[in-house]
Structure 1
């Protein structure tokens, strides 16, 4: 049986398009891989964020200004977890602190995590791992060794 290594993408609804871009591309340093229009409503955007080459594991967002907040377990995930290089959590914590984003660290199953929420209440975890692709993407102060 083939081992599943991850998800193709996770989609979320957010209220404000610019806040979404500022947070994921600007603060987290993710690559805005693609910006399209929502196929169901051509007046709304659909943003795709990922690593340097846009490989699977994308996060996609539909900015819908009149959307209601999600309820965890009823249409909303508990956490979206991204892998980062071993040793990158200290840089990430400093960056979150610099942008005045509440965050906390913990350990689970022997792995280090850093947790915080985006501007629209989606809970995010970063986990240190020596596995996975290394980013070649540098953007807005986030260098490749601290990106993935």
Structure 2
């Protein structure tokens, strides 16, 4: 998955996922913080695509291939000081529903006639973890590894 393919994939997922209002890409936490700094509450929920890292896989030089690893996050910008426990649970529920919808979409695309950049996704790598306090946002992240 190239950076342009990630951008295309984010746009596609935004259009197919309930509640996603904005997509951004990030390289690291400081870039993420800069990009979400200007986001208003009306633009919550945010789909973040982390630019891939690229490893290598192969037994020798004749069969070496590039293996991308990336991460998607569904986040909401949070005001921790004014958030009640019920609001926190509701935010985690909303973002969880979105990230699981994205996971289901990815699995469906891999099982059907999918774009070339999704062909080698390792569906066993689609792990979802909670996110708290990342660039003043909360939600869920999902790792994506390719075989």
TM range (shorter): 0.3 to 0.5
Q: Which structure has the bigger radius of gyration?
A: 2
| Bigger helix fraction | 2
Higher strand content, 1 or 2: 1
Normalising by structure 2, report the TM-score: 0.33
